């Protein structure tokens, strides 16, 4: 297998943390997103979507999707389970994962990509250019503030985002919050349950990935 990564970017970090929790080490190729290497012909031959991360399997098949890569690793390296332990738990984890992706990760992406000076026509990742929409940056910030509040509430009911176990939903929430920090959108200190959880997941060795 071969893993196409970018050490500074939030999307591949979600996979790196997942791999670290599984104890899986992969040969890695760095793609320089800051200099738009993903838009060049060489990388588009690897992934026409022009996004990172990508996992190239030994069969030659390339998986260019964060959660689909995690799914493959979960299937082939089941221990420790990070995507649920039975049918009901898998559904609960997936529900929470999608909630965090939408309200946290995507909101941070909207806030960042629609405002960053270097991304004028790159408001969305992918092969096509789309102009920034300032109102979408603003909405992203408003959604993030609500996400922080609601995540704090959830963490009053369980130790981790999707219940009693650390899962892919915690990984996505951690990376979303750290990504939001790039644009100075941080959880207010009075959200003490969120603060407790963020300190705990940040202290795991995988968080350095």
Where on the chain is the footprint of a second copy (CB under 8 A)? 49, 55, 57, 59, 61, 63-65, 67-69, 71-72, 75-76, 86-88, 90-92, 94-95, 98-99, 128, 130, 133, 135-136, 139, 142-143, 146
Alpha helix positions (H), 23-167: 41-46, 66-76, 87-100, 107-113, 134-157
Would you put residue 23 in left (φ > 0), alpha (ψ -120 to 50) or beta? left
User: At its nearest, how many Å lie between a second copy and the CB of residue 95?
Assistant: 4
By beta-carbon proximity to a second copy, the closer residue of 75 and 199 is 75
Q: How far is the CB of 98 from a second copy (least distance, A)?
A: 5
* Residue 136 C-beta: closest distance to a second copy, Å: 6
Q: For residues 53 and 207, which CB has a smaller minimum distance to a second copy in the complex? A: 53
Q: Which residue has the tokens 């929790």?
A: 21
Distance CA 179, CA 187 (A): 12
d(CA 187, CA 148): 6
CB-nearer residue toward a second copy: 5 or 74: 74
What is the CA angle 192-193-199, rounded to 5?
Answer: 85
CB of 96 to a second copy, least distance (A): 9
Q: Which is nearer to a second copy, 35 or 61 (CB)?
A: 61
């Amino acid at each position: 297998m071969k893993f196409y990564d970018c050490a500074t970017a939030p999307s591949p970090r979600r996979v790196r943390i997942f791999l670290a929790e599984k104890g899986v080490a992969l040969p890695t190729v760095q793609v320089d997103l800051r200099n738009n290497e993903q838009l060049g012909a060489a990388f588009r031959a690897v992934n026409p979507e022009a996004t990172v991360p990508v996992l190239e399997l030994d069969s030659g098949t390339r998986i260019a999707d964060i959660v689909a890569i995690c799914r493959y690793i979960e299937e082939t390296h089941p221990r420790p389970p990070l995507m649920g332990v039975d049918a009901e738990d898998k559904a609960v984890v997936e529900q929470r994962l999608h909630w965090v992706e939408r309200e946290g990760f995507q909101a941070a992406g909207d806030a960042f990509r629609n405002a960053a000076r270097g991304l004028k026509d790159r408001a969305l990742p992918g092969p096509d250019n789309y102009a920034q929409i300032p109102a979408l940056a603003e909405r992203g910030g408003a959604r993030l503030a609500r996400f922080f509040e609601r995540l704090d509430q959830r963490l009053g009911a369980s130790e981790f985002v999707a219940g009693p176990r650390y899962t892919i939903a915690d990984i996505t929430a951690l990376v979303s919050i750290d990504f939001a920090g790039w644009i100075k959108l941080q959880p207010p200190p009075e959200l003490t349950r969120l603060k407790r959880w963020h300190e705990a997941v940040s202290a795991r060795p995988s968080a350095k990935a």
